[in-house]
Amino acid sequence: MLTLHRAAQLLADPTAPSITDGAVLVDGAVIAAVGPYEPVAGTRVREWDGLLTPGLLNPYGQWLLERAYHPDPREELGDEPLMLEVDEARRGGSARRGLQRMLGYGTTAVAGPFELPAVRTAVARSGLVSLPGEGAAGGLDPLASAGLAAAVHRPLTVGGRADFAVFDVRSAAELEERGAGCCLATVLGGRLLYRRR
């Protein structure tokens, strides 16, 4: 099924100008078209009032998923990553919650390597792209330590995997100022996996 993601602003590549009233046409898991909005018969249309960008790479994936602990809301420990030693079963649950929280920051790729089996399984099942990394400590927001151009996983291109995010801002400059916590939606392989409630 074709899905047309229409956004107030589209930034397909952080090195190029944004497109007002832009759209990304998704066919299954890949991008079929990128550019100014034009209605396409027979498509489902998702309207986004914000900036649609390529998905972001979180360079702190290994630290966030294998060292930090993401509490279950029932534990009443807050929702920020904590430094707690936990067993393998709790580490898997923590990794799944951490990955879900990363989606809320427009993350579509995460840096490893992942040594713990429960974490490797969680990452593989999440749909996020796993890339090599350095294992440095850091937070959930990929924009906290780098600008948008450095944080983008890969530009949106026809034939490429449909991984992107939509943010509640009107420009790349506003996104860098506010940070990725203003994410409205994250799409992985053409599937809407996160939507702010």
The answer to whether residues 48 and 86 belong to one domain is: no
- Whether residue 28 lies inside any domain: the answer is yes
| pLDDT tens-digit readout, 33-70 | 999 999 888 899 999 999 999 999 999 999 899 888 77
Total tally of structural domains belonging to the chain: 2
> Distance between CA atoms of 160 and 164, rounded to whole angstroms?
11
The answer to whether residues 51 and 62 belong to one domain is: no
- The 3-state DSSP class for residue 106 equals coil
The answer to whether residues 48 and 11 belong to one domain is: yes
Which CATH number fits the domain that encloses residue 191? 2.30.40.10
* Higher pLDDT pick, 76 / 164: 164
For residue 79, the model assigns a pLDDT of 72
For residue 56, the model assigns a pLDDT of 98
- The 3-state DSSP class for residue 191 equals strand
The answer to whether residues 15 and 36 belong to one domain is: yes
| pLDDT tens-digit readout, 94-150 | 889 999 999 999 999 999 999 999 999 999 999 999 999 877 888 899 999 889 999
- The 3-state DSSP class for residue 49 equals strand
Domain boundary among 97, 131, 165: 131
Domain boundary among 131, 162, 177: 131
The answer to whether residues 116 and 64 belong to one domain is: yes
| Structural contact between residues 107 and 58, judged by C-beta atoms closer than 8 angstroms | yes
Question: What percent of the chain lies above the pLDDT cut of 90?
Answer: 75
Residue with tokens 């952080």: 14
> Distance between CA atoms of 133 and 114, rounded to whole angstroms?
10
The answer to whether residues 93 and 71 belong to one domain is: yes
The answer to whether residues 29 and 92 belong to one domain is: no
The pTM assigned to this predicted structure is 0.92
Domain that holds residue 64: 57-131
| Structural contact between residues 114 and 62, judged by C-beta atoms closer than 8 angstroms | yes
- Whether residue 188 lies inside any domain: the answer is yes
Of the candidate ranges 3-17, 96-110, 135-149, 182-196, the one whose mean pLDDT is the lowest: 135-149
